[in-house]
């Protein structure tokens, strides 16, 4: 079995042309015709990820985030990106990234958040109208809780389900939470869409100070952290690949690549 066999199947779920124009997805390092010894699935590709792949005899890393994003002009090992690339090449480790190609799939990153929170009647928050495809694609999702929750109960529920040490939110409004919008990763750009969709709450990450003012008393903005909002993505990919490659090593990375710590 080759790397291409694996990546072709991933692209049935998340075609590369679904990715945003600014993104860098696909096979970033390695020869697509190389035989695969094992697949390690992770959120990020770091030096310790390469070490884990070597220890587990995996020569293909399927990562959500691309380690090479804005391009490399030098390979001297002076940055963490350069060190990862050099280490991967030296050890014949291929790296493949899905990123926004998977973000734009209904059953992708935000869809998995909906599953974790138990949302029903889901639909895409920002549907794509410019891409000609039979499948409805786009960023974020919106759905409904089975039963409306008190705001404070909801915030604690989100904290528990999303396994986060910290939830930042805008002011509570004294209204029950029923309709919830979600978007994995940095999602401040979709605050107007969440409001227009009549969401009671919008869960995402990387909200800046002034972003919280944009709630305009229309909904609660809930920032659960970037890593936390995408953490279940690697489970999604492992489950997907394991259904197809049943007699092959598809391994979920045991390493947390979250660079943020809480006290």
Say what the pTM is.
0.94
Q: Which phi and psi angles does 12 have, rounded to 5°?
A: -70, -35
pLDDT recorded at residue 71? 81
Q: How many Å apart are CA 36 and CA 33, to the nearest integer?
A: 9
- Residues ≥6 apart with Cβ < 8 Å to 238: 41, 250, 251, 252
Helix (H) or strand (E) holding 122, with range, is strand 120-127
pLDDT per residue as tens, the chain (263 positions): 999 999 999 999 999 999 999 999 999 999 999 999 999 999 999 999 999 999 999 999 999 999 999 888 889 999 999 999 999 999 999 999 999 999 999 999 999 999 999 999 999 999 986 555 567 899 999 999 999 999 999 999 999 999 999 999 999 999 999 999 999 999 999 999 999 999 999 999 999 999 999 999 999 999 999 999 999 999 999 999 999 998 888 999 998 999 999 98
Rg (CA), the chain: 19
CA angle 209, 213, 218 (to 5 degrees): 140
User: Domains of the chain, with CATH numbers?
Assistant: 3-99 (3.40.1390.30), 104-229 (3.40.1390.30)
Could you tell me which residues are beta bridge partners of residue 181? 142, 202
Question: 103, 133 in Cβ contact below 8 A?
Answer: no
């Amino acid at each position: 079995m080759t790397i291409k066999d694996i990546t072709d199947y991933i692209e049935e779920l998340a075609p590369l042309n679904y990715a945003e124009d600014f993104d860098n997805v696909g096979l970033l390092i390695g020869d697509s015709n190389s035989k695969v010894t094992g697949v390690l699935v992770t959120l990020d590709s770091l030096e310790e990820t390469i070490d884990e792949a070597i220890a587990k005899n995996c020569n293909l890393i399927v990562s959500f985030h691309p380690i090479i994003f804005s391009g490399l002009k030098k390979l001297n090992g002076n940055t963490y990106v350069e060190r990862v690339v050099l280490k991967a090449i030296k050890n014949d480790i291929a790296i493949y990234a899905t990123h926004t190609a998977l973000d734009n799939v209904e059953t992708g990153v935000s869809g998995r958040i909906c599953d974790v929170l138990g949302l029903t009647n889901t639909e895409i928050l920002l549907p794509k109208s410019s891409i000609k495809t039979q499948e409805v694609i786009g960023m974020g999702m919106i759905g409904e809780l089975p039963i409306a929750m008190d705001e404070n109960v909801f915030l604690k529920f989100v904290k528990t389900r999303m396994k986060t040490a910290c939830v930042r939110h805008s002011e509570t409004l004294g209204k029950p939470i029923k309709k919830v919008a979600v978007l994995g990763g940095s999602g401040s750009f979709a605050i107007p869409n969440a409001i227009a969709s009549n969401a009671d709450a919008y869960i995402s990450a990387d909200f800046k100070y002034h972003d919280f003012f944009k709630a305009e008393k229309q909904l609660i903005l809930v920032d659960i952290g970037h890593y936390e909002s995408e953490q279940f993505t690697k489970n999604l990919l492992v489950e997907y690949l394991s259904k197809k490659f049943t007699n092959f090593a598809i391994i979920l990375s045991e390493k947390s690549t979250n660079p943020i710590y809480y006290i």
